[in-house]
């Protein structure tokens, strides 16, 4: 199913930082789309996928990677086809970068595979996060902003082979402002 503008989900929490995501290939019938949603009531990140009749249903996420101990204030997503990265900014200054891999038929069998995560703590509360692909396409940068005016970044050089699920090596944080 695909996510449409008038899709609905029944929520029993106050939502924060929704992030609409899509990865995979529609032509091979392995397109995954959905919405990551944080909560003002707990530290759970939720993922909703479209099902029949415009309804979005919750998909369980592995807590060891997708849960942080603070409300999630901002999210961003980046995909290069096989490697997918979700960046989370927590109210207490926690930054969690989650990477997962899937390609081809794997996406039909299981949404999240070969998951790794990286956590960094900076001065919070965090209010924004953005993943940026650098011009040479072999580097990623994540820029994080704090309510107190603190801005930092994390950098990562991508492996030359994008077909093997190896954890990404993040450097930083380095202060921008």
Residue-wise pLDDT tens digits, 124-165: 899 999 999 987 778 999 999 999 888 999 999 888 765 566
Tell me, what's the pLDDT at 77?
Answer: 97
Query: What are phi and psi for residue 66, nearest 5 degrees?
Result: -100, 0
Predicted confidence band at 62 (pLDDT cuts at 50, 70, 90)? Answer: confident
How many angstroms separate the CA atoms of 177 and 167, rounded?
28
Kindly state the average pLDDT of the residues 53-74.
Answer: 88
Kindly state the average pLDDT of the residues 110-132.
Answer: 89
Of 34, 36, 31, the residue nearest 4 (C-alpha) = 34
List of E strands, 11-67? 15-23, 32-39, 46-50, 56-59
Kindly state the average pLDDT of the residues 22-26.
Answer: 77
Of 163, 8, 17, the residue nearest 80 (C-alpha) = 163
> What residue spans of the chain are helical by DSSP H?
63-66, 106-109
Instruction: Tell me if 143 sits within 8 A of 153, measured CB to CB.
Output: yes
- More confidently predicted of 163 and 44: 44
- More confidently predicted of 32 and 2: 32
> What residue spans of 29-177 are helical by DSSP H?
63-66, 106-109
pTM for the full model? Answer: 0.88
Instruction: Tell me if 7 sits within 8 A of 65, measured CB to CB.
Output: no
């Amino acid at each position: 199913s695909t996510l449409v503008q008038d899709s609905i989900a029944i929520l029993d929490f106050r939502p924060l930082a929704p992030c609409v995501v899509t990865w995979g290939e529609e032509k091979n019938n392995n397109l995954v789309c959905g919405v990551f949603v944080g909560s003002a009531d707990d530290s759970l990140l939720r993922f909703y996928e479209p099902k029949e009749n415009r309804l979005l249903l919750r998909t369980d996420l592995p807590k060891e990677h997708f849960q942080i101990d603070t409300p999630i204030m901002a999210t961003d997503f980046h995909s290069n086809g096989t490697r997918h990265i979700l960046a989370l900014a927590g109210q207490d200054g926690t930054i969690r970068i989650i990477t997962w891999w899937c390609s081809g038929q794997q996406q039909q069998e299981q949404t999240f595979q070969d998951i790794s995560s990286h956590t960094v703590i900076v001065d919070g509360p965090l209010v924004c996060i953005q993943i940026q692909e650098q011009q040479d396409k072999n580097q990623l940068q994540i820029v994080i902003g704090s309510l107190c005016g603190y801005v930092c970044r994390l950098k990562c050089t991508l492996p030359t082979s994008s077909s093997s699920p190896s954890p990404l090596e993040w450097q930083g944080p380095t202060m921008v402002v």
